[in-house]
Structure 1
Amino acid sequence: MSDDRQSWWLTREDRGALWIPRAILAAGIIIGAVFLVASGEITQRSSQAEELEQEKLSRQAEDIITILDATNRLATEGGSPGFVLYWNAREIRFINSHIDDPGDDYYTTLENSPNNPLRPVLQKTLGPEAVGVNIHVRYQTGDGTLNRTRVLYQGPPGQNAVRESRNILLSDDVTPTLGGTSSDGDACTLGEMGGSTGTGTNGCTDKAFYAPDASPNSSVYNAIRVQITIWET
């Protein structure tokens, strides 16, 4: 009986029509499997590319904050200028920051500030890459609360943004880049300026700094926390 059944399948004139739905179903399964595999590979590659980009941004942010931290510390010791002290105490703004926008006391680009200590650092670490950068400084106010000042602001960070931060201690005897001259002919120090209110001494009452003197009864002026945020644009 099995032989007759086999012959019946082999000799029926409509056997091709019977196999067509099965062939279509099998082809659909194969195509679906191929699609799933390809989709998985694309998703995996996309995820790997995003991880690599995040790692790259993290390295760049780490490099930037490390260099800035070093230059800022040199500045507090009387060395090369650091951006935390790249301040015009008479105009009460970061030097040349008003060129981008007369109403701003921070930078939106560094194109009009060729001597800004931020510029060579960002050029060296980021180059021509399409990367957005925000830099803020945080510090204590007179009542102990925290305040934040923009240094460089290029808009809201993207979803892939990474952040790095460092702390630096400023003392009363530190002088901003354009701090003005005191009554004795020396540059006005932060302690002589009287903080952010401009109520200082020794002929420095008309100058002010962005951060106040958080510890007026000591030689410590304020603790500045520098935060950098970068993202792919």
Structure 2
Amino acid sequence: MTRTQSRGQAHTLEAVAAGMLLLASVLFALQVTAVTPLTGSTSSQHIENQQASLAEGLLATQVENGSIVPTILYWNESAGTFHGTSRDGYRNAGPPTAFGNVLNETFGDRNTAYDVNIYYVRSSGARERISLVDLGNPSDHASTASRMVTLYDDDRVLAANESALDTLSNTSFFAPDAAPDSRVYNVIEVEVVVWRM
């Protein structure tokens, strides 16, 4: 065997050994790296966009068909909470109203958690928040959608059986009358936060 041939074999052997070492390093790195449902990727961004669109569409249709205002008015004046809940809002599912049923049907069957927050303005101009549904702490990849609804002085607070009680202007509702000189009682922002479990 000539010196050139043995040198060529040595270089080939080195190249094969380097390739195997590189392949082993890549395989080790892939096994060490954990890929979870919360790992950032284009697919998780797509899911977030889908959830945001779903929440936006849900709020738009529910404002249009008028089911959000009765849910906001589902207020237990004596307890100072929504009917059948604590101060933290509903903790296991949406409220027992038409809007709550749509929330449960839309997100409950998709392994998607959601919170519903209600923002209102005090007469001083300060913005306050009350929780309607609190199913946990949103992840870093949560999506948010919100809509504004107007409450009027002659809107009526609802009993637990959803029958109409006294008007907002005659009750101790969570949101104050922000415009006492007009028919408008307050403008409420309803926010839905959704995230994958």
TM-score when normalising by structure 1: 0.67
Maintained 8 Å contact 2:146/2:189 = yes
Residues 129-180 of structure 1 deviation map (CA, whole Å, 9 limit, x = unaligned): 221211111111121211111111122210110001111111100001129x
Matched residues, number = 186
CA separation of 1:225 and 1:33: change in aligned 2, threshold 3 A: same
Is the contact between residue 89 and residue 178 of structure 1 (CA under 8 Å) also seen in structure 2? Answer: no
Q: Distance in 2 between matches of 1:19 and 1:178?
A: 84
Amino acid aligned to 1:64: L
Counterpart selection for 1:138 from 119, 132, 140: 119
Name the amino acid aligned to 2:45: E
Partner of 1:191: 169
Structure 2: gaps of 5 or more residues: none
Given that 1:94 and 1:105 are in contact with CA atoms closer than 8 Å, whether structure 2 keeps it comes out as no
Is residue 138–residue 225 contact of structure 1 (8 Å, CA) maintained in 2? yes
Separation (CA, whole Å) in 1 of partners of 2:116 and 2:146: 10
Is the 8 Å Cα contact of residues 110 and 116 (structure 1) preserved in structure 2?
A: no
Deviations 1:180-213 (A, max 9, x none): xxxxxx83101122xxxxxxxxxxxxxx211001
Distance 1:136 1:19, change over 3 A: closer
Equivalent-residue separation in structure 1 for 2:154 and 2:11 (angstroms): 95
2:60 and 2:51 mapped to 1: Cα distance?
A: 14
- How many Å separate the matches in 2 of 1:168 and 1:15? 79
Q: What's the % identity of the aligned pairs? A: 23
CA distance in 2, matches of 1:93, 1:121: 21
Q: Structure 1 unaligned segments of length 5 or more: list them.
A: 1-5, 77-81, 99-103, 180-185, 194-207
- The SS at the match of 1:158 is coil
- Provide the rounded CA distance (Å) in 1 between the counterparts of 2:74 and 2:145: 20
Evaluate the alpha carbon distance shift between residue 22 and residue 228 of structure 1 in structure 2; reply closer, same or farther with a 3 A threshold: closer
Pairing 1:87-166 to 2, within 5 Å after superposition: 87-98=75-86, 104=87, 106-110=89-93, 115-166=96-147
1:51 Cα shift? Answer: 2.2
The 1-side partners of 2:109 and 2:103 are apart by 10
Secondary structure in 2 aligned to 1:54?
Answer: helix
Q: CA RMSD in A?
A: 3.3
Does 1 or 2 have the higher relative contact order (CA < 8 Å, sep 6+)?
A: 2
Q: 1:75: how far off?
A: 6.8
Distance in 2 (CA, whole Å) between partners of 1:8 and 1:110 is: 80
Amino acid at match of 1:91: A
2:74 aligned with 1:86: yes
> 1:24 corresponds to which residue?
17
Q: How far did residue 91 of structure 1 move?
A: 2.6
Say if 2:151 is the partner of 1:170: yes
1:74 & 1:49 partners in 2: Cα distance?
33
